[in-house]
Chain A
Amino acid sequence: MSDQDKDRSMLLQKEMLAEHYRRLEAAPETREPVVYTFVPGNLTELIRSFGALPVLPEINALQSAMRGKSQGYIAAAEKGGHSEDVCSYVKCDIGMARAGNVGPTGTRLPKPDLLLLSYTGCYTFMKWFELLREEYRCPTVFLQVPYEGDGSQTPAMRAYVARQIRETLIPALEKATGRRYDEDRLKESLARSRAAEDDLVAVLQSARKTPSPIDAYFGAVYYVGPIFSAFRGTEEGLAYYRALREEVEQRAARAEGPATPAGRLDAQKYRLVVEGPPNWTHFREFWRMFAEEGAVVVASTYSKVGGTYDLGFRHDPADPLGTLADYCSGCYTNRSLPARVEMLERYCREYSADGFLVHSVKSCNSFSAGQLTMLREVERRTGLPGAFIESDLVDARYFSAANLKNRLESYFQMLEARRTGAAVPA
């Protein structure tokens, strides 16, 4: 896509990111403190309330992959003793750190003043920051977000998280940044989060329309980018989501589909629900496999890893620490398998899907372990045909284009045959 084909929101996002990375690069001189933290359960408003800049390692890894750098980084980590079996995000990130910490836009990333290990929905996060601590030799603070094993957050879980934030995280942030905790500042930021979240949900739910004005998987990756990373609760984030919502609503009013690598997708043959993260090494090629067949994704679970706003959650400035606890607990990968199945089932129904697809990535057991059971369960409950395809996040060795294309084609033809099966003479 050339710049003039791109949506205005995309250009806006590009500028925001470039500015953020410029600030990060300058941080050693400007003395802006830097906090590394993960996307699920990220406490961006809290971090920013201390005047610190967040860095999200998953975002670095996935962007490295989109820029074709991940394979070299992974190779470096494996050469350093990491197994081929483990998460490629971690290896990519370690490789990047060892190669001079050059970030996604080509600027150098500063070392962290604090690793804020928000242990939310992913076991590997724990190891990841233990490993990064070895690279950076910097303070690390740990936040345990209990898993919603029984499908919901209990009051004890909520209190545990909120108390950790107050008793452990805030002192650690005060120490790392040299600033006092300012609850009013946090509340203002949370209010902005709330407004942006309303806009994001409107964007995601626009896919209920036919044709859908968005792709809720490949396209949504861009839509959730700012709010899942450094911009939740910021003025820029607020402006971005307002602009995005307007843009999508206009597209919906014109009954237009989203821009895709195969052109604008107005003629939508298949409406899909997708579970699992995308592949990043061949992101556009992968998307094209869908778009060329006229498949649009109307809902995805991946776009909920940094918060399940469409299920009703909004940050609440009236109860700043409690709301952060609620936020962390509700992130998609912190939910039990039955809860995930229910979400998929609901999406299939509410978004009038023709089918659902599981993209299973080798790296991520939090997502992948149990997906075959989920597949069967969703099929059973919805009666919709499911598809199962496999690759990886940022390790290109596990992306077999011919294989994926074969499966996807077979799947789309099956949807088509099932749709017209009865109409064709035997």
Chain B
Amino acid sequence: MRCFVGIDLGSTTTKAVVLDEASEVLGRGITNSRSNYDLAAEIARTEAFVSARFRLLERAVERAAGRETLARLLRAFRLEQMLTQLSALRGKVEEEIGKRPVPGQKALRAAVAAIFDGIVAEEEARFLEADPPARSDFFRDAAGSAYARLAERAAAASGGAVTFDALLGLYDQCIVRVENEPLELGFREHIGQALERVGNASGVREAVDAAVDAPLDPVATVGTGYGRARLPFPKEQIRSEILCHGLGAHVLFPGTRTVLDIGGQDTKAIQVDPAGIVTSFQMNDRCAAGCGRYLGYIADEMNMGLHELGPLALGSRRPVRITSTCTVFAGAELRERLSLGERREDILAGLHRAVILRAMSLLARSGGIDDEFTFTGGVAKNPAAVEALRRLVAENYGERRINISADSIYTGALGAAHFARRGAAA
């Protein structure tokens, strides 16, 4: 089966999208960009192909055994993947313990065994739940939060023989190494084990085998994003993220005429024509003021998760006016505001508004906001930013349809995949 690949090497995350010949999205992959772009691209791409194969499998299994079986199979597959990664992590942690002074090793080994056994048990229990709570797609986040929780318990149980900090230190040391090794995602093996786990329902194995064996032939790939120059592609296969974002937004919402993307390190305001071709664009100037990274610093400063900022800010009734979105001074400004006795939610609401105000000027520079208006990038997931944007758009441009896709993080990769398809067709 012919397919087309788009890879978006962003400053924070790397995304890949696989399209089939009917332009339907077959698969998507995402990973942290780290300092190694080549590796990030490879991992995202592999993940996208796994998910593409999955999509094929889903189509086949759904046809053969119905939706419910399919859902269970998918979860079983995720579980197998998780267990493999956990086992890799456990191996590294144990290896690390081996390098420590001998007297402490035994207690550490016991504690670590308790932690990993605990996580495995939790994961298996999660699998049995009908509707487990949503969580991060990243192994680092999912495993990390469980590890920390169980490490606290293990430290307490050891009666002082091991400390929480020591256990967490082991995790921090090893997680990077696990992430930086391309994982044997072993689709075939994992799906086999997953099938066992869901009890080999009739017809499912045949459908799975057919899907697994179907050849996926990536006939064209286009790379984009901040690190695109690092991709080992010929120049014709590289497109600027501006073009890819414009086209991606057009694919997601065909009525799109204006696109705002607020990513980690840059903000883009793009105007596109009815075919999704960029007609004008503006990017932020050289500093990262007003970009996603700025909110990241604020979250660090407040000792909060990035995803917690927006919901807290929404609780504000009297937003503080923030005049500077300078990343360098973010911490100082925040501390002074707090010391003046301003409420956290009011400060946060002001900060979100300041970020959106920066975006508003880029939009104005690029030619304003036309209907429809599509908002993408990590900050589009932040409800307080979205709220501030809605208000400012209405105040300054009147009624505009504002599109936000749950998959907006893939917009650039999606556009790149469409360029790959168009290029192959031309």
Let me know if chains A and B touch directly in the complex, using CB atoms closer than 8 Å. Answer: yes
Give chain A's interface residues, CB within 8 Å of chain B: 372, 375-376, 379, 385-386, 388, 390, 398, 400, 403, 405-407, 409-410, 413-414, 417-418, 421-422, 424-426
Kindly state the interface size class of chain B when it binds its partner: 20 to 34
Which label, helix, strand, loop or mixed, suits the secondary structure of the A interface? Answer: helix
Q: Is A400 touching B278 in the complex (CB atoms < 8 A)? A: no
A37 to chain B, nearest CB (A): 34
Q: Is B286 touching A385 in the complex (CB atoms < 8 A)? A: no
Q: Point out the residues of chain A lying under 8 angstroms from B240, CB to CB.
A: 406, 409-410, 413-414
Q: Point out the residues of chain A lying under 8 angstroms from B239, CB to CB.
A: 413
B363 to chain A, nearest CB (A): 13
Query: Which of A372, A385, A421 contacts B365 (CB under 8 A)?
Result: A372
Q: Is B279 touching A418 in the complex (CB atoms < 8 A)? A: yes
Query: Which of A390, A417, A425 contacts B277 (CB under 8 A)?
Result: A417
Q: Is B365 touching A425 in the complex (CB atoms < 8 A)? A: no
Q: Point out the residues of chain B lying under 8 angstroms from A379, CB to CB.
A: 280, 367
- Residues in B364-381 with C-beta less than 8 Å from chain A: 365, 367
Q: Point out the residues of chain A lying under 8 angstroms from B243, CB to CB.
A: 410, 413-414, 417
Q: Point out the residues of chain B lying under 8 angstroms from A398, CB to CB.
A: 286
Q: Is B241 touching A421 in the complex (CB atoms < 8 A)? A: no
Q: Is B278 touching A417 in the complex (CB atoms < 8 A)? A: yes
Q: Point out the residues of chain A lying under 8 angstroms from B367, CB to CB.
A: 376, 379
Chain B CB within 10 Å — which of A403, A407, A414 has the most?
A: A414
Q: Point out the residues of chain B lying under 8 angstroms from A405, CB to CB.
A: 229
Q: Is B279 touching A424 in the complex (CB atoms < 8 A)? A: no
- Residues in B266-301 with C-beta less than 8 Å from chain A: 273, 275, 277-283, 285-286
Query: Which of A390, A414, A418, A425 contacts B242 (CB under 8 A)?
Result: A414
Task: Kindly report which residue of chain A lies nearest to residue B425, judged by CB atoms.
Answer: A425
Q: Point out the residues of chain B lying under 8 angstroms from A388, CB to CB.
A: 282, 365
Q: Is B422 touching A425 in the complex (CB atoms < 8 A)? A: yes
Given contacts A388-B365, A418-B277, A421-B277, contact A410 B426 (CB under 8 A): no
Given contacts A388-B365, A410-B243, contact A425 B282 (CB under 8 A): no
Given contacts A422-B275, A425-B422, A425-B426, contact A410 B286 (CB under 8 A): no
In the assembly, what is the distance between CA of A410 and CA of B426, in Å?
A: 21
* List of 7 A-B pairs having minimum Cβ-Cβ separation, nearest first: A410-B240, A410-B242, A421-B277, A414-B278, A417-B277, A413-B240, A409-B240
In the assembly, what is the distance between CA of A410 and CA of B273, in Å?
A: 16
- Residues in B325-381 with C-beta less than 8 Å from chain A: 365, 367
B99 to chain A, nearest CB (A): 39
Given contacts A403-B286, A410-B243, contact A421 B280 (CB under 8 A): no
B225 to chain A, nearest CB (A): 10
Q: Point out the residues of chain B lying under 8 angstroms from A409, CB to CB.
A: 240
In the assembly, what is the distance between CA of A421 and CA of B426, in Å?
A: 12
In the assembly, what is the distance between CA of A405 and CA of B273, in Å?
A: 24
A418 to chain B, nearest CB (A): 6
Q: Point out the residues of chain B lying under 8 angstroms from A385, CB to CB.
A: 279-280
Q: Point out the residues of chain B lying under 8 angstroms from A421, CB to CB.
A: 273, 275, 277
Q: Is B283 touching A407 in the complex (CB atoms < 8 A)? A: yes
Q: Point out the residues of chain B lying under 8 angstroms from A407, CB to CB.
A: 283
In the assembly, what is the distance between CA of A426 and CA of B273, in Å?
A: 13
Task: Kindly report which residue of chain B lies nearest to residue A406, judged by CB atoms.
Answer: B240
A269 to chain B, nearest CB (A): 13
Chain A CB within 10 Å — which of B241, B243, B286, B365 has the most?
A: B286
Q: Point out the residues of chain A lying under 8 angstroms from B365, CB to CB.
A: 372, 375-376, 388
Q: Point out the residues of chain B lying under 8 angstroms from A390, CB to CB.
A: 285-286
In the assembly, what is the distance between CA of A398 and CA of B273, in Å?
A: 33
Q: Could you list some 17 contacts between A and B, CB below 8 A?
A: A372-B365, A379-B367, A385-B279, A388-B282, A388-B365, A390-B285, A390-B286, A400-B286, A403-B286, A406-B240, A410-B241, A410-B243, A414-B243, A414-B277, A414-B281, A421-B275, A425-B426
Q: Is A410 touching B277 in the complex (CB atoms < 8 A)? A: no
Query: Which of A372, A386, A413, A424 contacts B426 (CB under 8 A)?
Result: A424
B421 to chain A, nearest CB (A): 9
Q: Is A424 touching B281 in the complex (CB atoms < 8 A)? A: no
Q: Point out the residues of chain A lying under 8 angstroms from B426, CB to CB.
A: 424-425
Query: Which of B273, B280, B422 contacts A386 (CB under 8 A)?
Result: B280
Given contacts A372-B365, A390-B286, A403-B286, contact A426 B242 (CB under 8 A): no
In the assembly, what is the distance between CA of A372 and CA of B362, in Å?
A: 11
Task: Kindly report which residue of chain B lies nearest to residue A407, judged by CB atoms.
Answer: B283
In the assembly, what is the distance between CA of A417 and CA of B419, in Å?
A: 11
Q: Point out the residues of chain A lying under 8 angstroms from B229, CB to CB.
A: 405
In the assembly, what is the distance between CA of A425 and CA of B281, in Å?
A: 23
In the assembly, what is the distance between CA of A210 and CA of B113, in Å?
A: 74
In the assembly, what is the distance between CA of A385 and CA of B282, in Å?
A: 12
- Residues in B178-222 with C-beta less than 8 Å from chain A: none
A184 to chain B, nearest CB (A): 54
In the assembly, what is the distance between CA of A424 and CA of B239, in Å?
A: 15
New contact pairs (7) apart from A405-B229, A410-B281, A414-B240, CB-CB < 8 Å: A398-B286, A414-B242, A414-B277, A414-B280, A417-B278, A425-B426, A426-B275
Q: Is A424 touching B282 in the complex (CB atoms < 8 A)? A: no
B424 to chain A, nearest CB (A): 10
Q: Point out the residues of chain A lying under 8 angstroms from B242, CB to CB.
A: 410, 413-414
Q: Point out the residues of chain B lying under 8 angstroms from A425, CB to CB.
A: 422, 425-426
